Chains A and B, each alone.
Chain A
Amino acid sequence: MAKGIWVFAEQREGQVKKVSFELLSEGRKVADQLGEELCAVLVGKNVSDLTEAVSAYGPDKIYVIDNDALENYTTDGYTNAVSDLVKKYEPSVLLFGCTVTGRDLSAQVAQRFQTGLMTDCTGMEVVDGQLVFTRPIYAGKAIVKASCPEARPAMATIRPNTFAAVENAKQAEVINVEYGAGDIRQVIKDIIRQVSERPELTEANIIVSGGRGMKGPENFKLLEDLADVLGAAVGASRAAVDAGWVSHSFQVGQTGKTVSPVLYIACGISGAIQHLAGMSSAKCIVAINKDEEANIFKVADYGIVGDLFEVVPILTEELKKIMAS
Chain B
Amino acid sequence: MKILVCLKQTFDTEAKITLDSNGKIESKGVSMIMNPYDEFAVEEALRIKEKGEGEVTVISVGGQQTQDALRQALAMGADKAVLVDPGEIELDEFSTATVLAKTIGGMEYDIILGGFRAIDDGSAQVVGRVAELLNIPVVNVVTKLEIEGGKALATREVEGGSEVIEVALPAAFTAQKGLNEPRYPSMKGIMKAKKKPMDKKTLADVGLDENQIAAKVKALSFSLPEARQAGKVIPGEAAEAAKELARLLREEAKVI
Contacts and interface: CB of A to CB of B under 8 A. Distances in A.
B231 A303 contact: yes
Contacts of B187: none
Interface string B45-67: 00000000000000000000000
Interface in B202-229: 215-225, 228
A229 B129 CA distance: 43
Given A200-B159, A263-B255, A303-B232, A318 B164 contact: no
A116 B215 contact: yes
A175 interface: no
Nearest to B97: A111
Interface stretch (A33-41, A44-52, A60-68, A147-155): A147-155
Interface stretch (B76-84, B105-113, B193-201, B239-247): B239-247
A69 to B, nearest CB: 15
A319 B158 contact: no
A188 B249 CA distance: 44
A190 B165 CA distance: 7
A311 B249 CA distance: 15
B214 to A, nearest CB: 10
Contacts of B224: 141-143
Interface stretch (A21-29, A163-171, A217-225, A280-288): A280-288
Interface string B173-199: 000111000000000000000000000
B119 A104 contact: no
A178 to B, nearest CB: 23
B166 interface: yes
Interface centre among A72, A277, A302 (most CB of B within 10 A): A302
Given A117-B123, A138-B17, A150 B216 contact: yes
A306 B244 CA distance: 14
A115 B178 CA distance: 32
A126 B51 CA distance: 54
A302 to B, nearest CB: 6
Contacts, number: 260
Contacts of A176: none
B238 A307 contact: yes
> SS class of chain A's interface: helix, strand, loop or mixed?
mixed
Contacts of A196: 160
Given A114-B94, A188-B164, A302-B248, A255 B177 contact: yes
Nearest to A76: B137
B83 to A, nearest CB: 23
B256 A314 contact: no
A107 B157 contact: no
Contacts of B157: 100, 248-249
B163 A192 contact: yes
Q: What band does the interface of chain A fall in when counting residues whose beta carbon is under 8 Å from B?
A: 35 or more
A116 B94 contact: yes
A185 B137 contact: yes
B234 to A, nearest CB: 5
A13 B61 CA distance: 40
A50 to B, nearest CB: 18
A108 B137 CA distance: 10
Contact of B230 (A116, A185, A230, A300): A300
Interface string B121-144: 111110011011100011111010
Contacts of A112: 132
Contact of A318 (B137, B153, B178, B246): B246
A3 interface: no
A142 B249 CA distance: 29
12 contacts: A75-B140, A101-B158, A107-B132, A119-B123, A139-B119, A142-B25, A146-B220, A148-B218, A255-B37, A284-B249, A297-B230, A322-B246
Given A143-B225, A315-B246, 16 more contacts: A100-B140, A100-B141, A101-B159, A116-B93, A116-B217, A141-B15, A142-B19, A144-B221, A146-B217, A188-B164, A192-B161, A248-B177, A274-B13, A284-B253, A301-B232, A319-B246
Considering the complex of A and B, which 4 residue pairs feature the smallest CB-CB distances, nearest first? A116-B216, A107-B128, A107-B125, A301-B231
